[in-house]
Amino acid sequence: MKKNLIAQSTLLILIAFFTINCNTSTQNSTTKNAEFGIVIHGGAGTILKENLSDSLEKAYHSKLQEALNAGHSILEKGGTSIDAVQAAIMIMENSPLFNAGKGAVFTNAGTNELDASFMDGSTLNAGAVGGVTIVKNPITAARAVMEKSDHVMLSGEGANQFAILQKLDTVDNSYFYTERRFKSLQKIKNSETGSSKLLSEHNDYKFGTVGAAALDKSGNLAAGTSTGGMTNKKYGRIGDSPIIGAGTYANNATCAISCTGHGEFFIRYAVAHDVSALMEYKNMTLEAAGNEVINNKLVKVEGSGGLISIDKNGNVSMPFNTAGMYRGYMLDNKEAKTFIFK
């Protein structure tokens, strides 16, 4: 009798254990073993439902869907992850909804300075630009540095000149002007009391970076990130977005990642590479590694933001520690999913 009770108790414990694990897996694991796919973000930060009208919320979902479709159509036809990442990011750079390209935020001087990076997971080749002012789509400049130069990062006027030599689309800096972003600059300037509040205040104004990561049918990973940086930035400030290993990373052995958040923290903690390293050296899953970095390491030091990622097996993870993050993914089943809030 006693043995039967012990056996029954053991069985109940095992059933409960597997039930809990199954429920947790359903809630936290986005995908399993897709042949190919793309995941994107349009920034993380203080994104609250009560602050978004129904029409604006719909507009964000629509633009995220458009970006996913652009990248996915390339992958579906056997195209490269690099082409897919660029196509998705360009859609968001051309939209004033995001802090990249057309919707870039303003510097303290009232200009727009843009940053972008690109990484090829098959070769670990990478390219980035910082502080460009005339490149219509900075992600194209980052790719050009990766593929057509001996360098990893170019900045300022030199990067502008390189883009011209590569015959990329260039525009007058006034092209990037949007009333919404200009008003944000004025609001921050009006609230300043002598000293700059660049890093300590207005955290909700700087999370509009866009990014994409993709896995193609050949098993190659790639990632890219593009941003206008931080509203009211001074002294040529550059954040994590154009820094390989901080804002962007891709390695066929592990995963592809694009980050968004308070750049100074993402640089200090080498966030994008850290996720890959945890997978490579500690055999952590994509989801576990991302959560460890975003929801443990960064939270402990009050670093805000998130990331999107896809691993070599087609698993997707999108952890963030802010109120919201514009994000979405589309895999080989052709079903696009987009999200904004937690």
Which tens digits make up the pLDDT trace of 198-239? 443 444 444 689 999 999 999 999 999 999 999 999 999 999
pLDDT attached to residue 208: 81
Work out the angle at residue 74's Cα, subtended by the Cα atoms of residues 219 and 146, and round it to the nearest 5 degrees: 65
At 270, give phi and psi (nearest 5°): 40, 55
**Average pLDDT of the residues in 107-132:** 98
First to last CA, the chain: 49
Cβ proximity of 30 and 208 under 8 Å: no
Average pLDDT over residues 328-340: 96
Catalytic residues: 209
The residue extents of the domains of the chain are 1-30, 35-341
Q: Residue type for 86, please?
A: Q
Mean pLDDT, residues 41-64: 94
3-state secondary structure (DSSP) of residue 192: coil
Higher local confidence (pLDDT), 191 or 150? 150
Instruction: Write down the mean pLDDT value for the chain.
Output: 89
pLDDT exceeds cutoff 60 at 277: yes
Q: What pLDDT does 27 receive?
A: 33
At 207, phi and psi to the nearest 5? -100, 80
Categorize the per-residue pLDDT at 193 as very low, low, confident or very high, splitting at 50, 70 and 90: low
Phi and psi at 127, nearest 5°, equal -150, 150
| Structure token digits, residue 184 | 């944000």
Using the predicted structure, report yes or no on whether residue 6 has a pLDDT greater than 70. Answer: no
Q: Do residues 238 and 115 lie in contact, with contact meaning Cβ atoms separated by under 8 Å?
A: yes
* 47's tokens: 């994104």
pLDDT, mean of residues 33-53: 92
CB atoms < 10 A from the CB of 12, how many? 10
Q: What is the pLDDT of residues 135-190, one digit of tens each?
A: 999 999 999 999 999 999 999 999 999 999 999 999 999 999 999 999 999 999 99
Give residue-wise pLDDT tens across range 81-109.
999 999 999 999 999 999 999 999 999 99
Whether the per-residue pLDDT at 194 is higher than 80: the answer is no
Where do we find the tokens 């360009």?
90
Quick check: 12 pLDDT over 70?
no
Tell me: pLDDT of 5 over 70: no
Stretch 13-36: mean pLDDT: 49
What class, spelled out in words, does domain 35-341 have in CATH? alpha beta
- pLDDT grade, residue 70 (50/70/90)? very high
**What's residue 192's pLDDT?**
74
- pTM assigned to the model: 0.88
Whether residue 124 is predicted with pLDDT greater than 70 in this model: the reply is yes
Instruction: Pick 4 or 244 by higher pLDDT.
Output: 244
Lay out the sheet containing 305-311: strands in order across.
248-250, 255-261, 305-311, 316-317
Contact between residue 206 and residue 79 where contact means Cβ atoms under 8 Å apart: no
Tokens coding 150? 């001996």
SS3 301: coil
